[in-house]
Amino acid sequence: MLLAGDVGGTKTSLALFDVEEGPRRPLREATFPSEQYPDLEAIVDEFLSRGDESPNFACFGVAGPVVEGRATITNLSWTMEEEQLADAFHFDQVLLINDLVSIANAIPLMEDEDLHTLNDREPEFGGAIAVVAPGTGLGEAFLTWSGSRYEAHPSEGGHTDFAPADEFQIGLLHYLQDTYGHVSWERVCSGVGIPNIYAYLKASGAASEPTWLAEKLASVEDATPIIVNHAIESDEPCELCLATVHTFVSILGAETGNMALKALATGGVYLGGGIPPRIVRFLDDGRFMDAFQRKGRLGELAGSLPVHVILNPKAALLGAARRGLQMGT
């Protein structure tokens, strides 16, 4: 039996899986508010105390870097070690993997209802797969075919240099260089990047900021949900918020196309993370695919690749379960 988990700064989801039932049919699952617990051990202990199961393996996808069996949560003061977790709960083996590797591991499990298609093309059997996931940050990963199954690999592509595609984006780059020096894709293509785009649009005079919106933004720490919400309102969207989301979509399309070419993702391209499912109608309006395919001599190749949005909110947990069930195989 396997214990799998999706461990993040906001919440931690755990589930038990049987080898015979597979990763899409958890025996039991629960979600916990991460900040209310001192460490992952406390959550695992509470979860296991609610039943009489005795899992002998565990795999946790964690929102942070994993190096030599040790992981830290980017937005939480937790440190986890594979050996320590194994000793604490008498597991035969514990595996810690990055959360994007978890999402990538879920790709082979995706079914039609888990996906929204942006570019309906036939994937090449065994072709590489690219994953780009804008959430709080910008995560990227890829999968390659081993001859019998897909294997997921991590990437820190979100921290590579932002490459502006037009005069407007060149201005955005210069604007952010004054603040950050190095401007990565994550600075403009994630939850932390959306307020940067908004600030530049406001500063450049591209659209004016309503007084009521300025007051609302001043009262919160995270401006991104407010900006996105006031863009997707169908009745009367805010012009500045709408321009922010349109810019974000174009930038996301460009970087997703970059990742697709780097991985030569003939097996498909998948958008994960928390933002894409919320803005599907903006991804559908043409801006995303226009930027995705604007690759010069390789534009035709980019346009031939399947592109999907992952709608399943449990993708990271599914992926941790799939990887965990492979232990020993």
On the CB side of 126, CA atoms within 13 Å amount to 4
- Whole-number Å distance between alpha carbons of 118 and 269: 10
Read off the pLDDT band of 132 (50, 70, 90).
Answer: very high
Cβ neighbours for 137, distance < 8 A, ≥ 6 positions apart? 74, 158, 186, 190, 191, 192
What secondary structure does DSSP assign to 197-249, as a single string? HHHHHHHHTSSPPPHHHHHHHHT-S--HHHHHHHHH-SSS--HHHHHHHHHHH
Q: Identify the H or E element spanning 173.
A: helix 167-180
328 pLDDT higher than 60: no
Share of the chain above pLDDT 70, in %: 99
Domains in the chain (CATH in brackets) are: 2-105+314-325 (3.30.420.40), 111-311 (3.40.367.20)
Confidence of residue 10 (pLDDT cuts 50, 70, 90): confident
Name which of 162, 175, 132 is nearest 251 in CA terms. Answer: 162
Cβ atoms within 10 A of the Cβ of 106, count? Answer: 28
| Summary mean pLDDT of the chain | 95
153-172 pLDDT tens trace: 989 899 999 999 999 999 99
Which pLDDT tens digit goes with each residue over 227-244? 999 999 877 899 999 999
Count Cα atoms within 13 angstroms, Cβ side, for 177: 10
Tell me whether strands 129-134 and 138-145 are parallel, antiparallel or unpaired.
antiparallel
DSSP 141: E
Over the range 124-163, which residues count as b (16 or more CB within 10 Å of their CB) and which as e?
beebbbbbbbbbbbbbbbbbeeeeeebbbebbebbebebe
Give strand pairing partners of 155.
Answer: 140
Q: Is the pLDDT score of 175 beyond 90?
A: yes
* pTM to 2 decimal places: 0.92
Mean local confidence (pLDDT), 291-305? 98
**Does the structure show a pLDDT above 70 at 137?**
yes
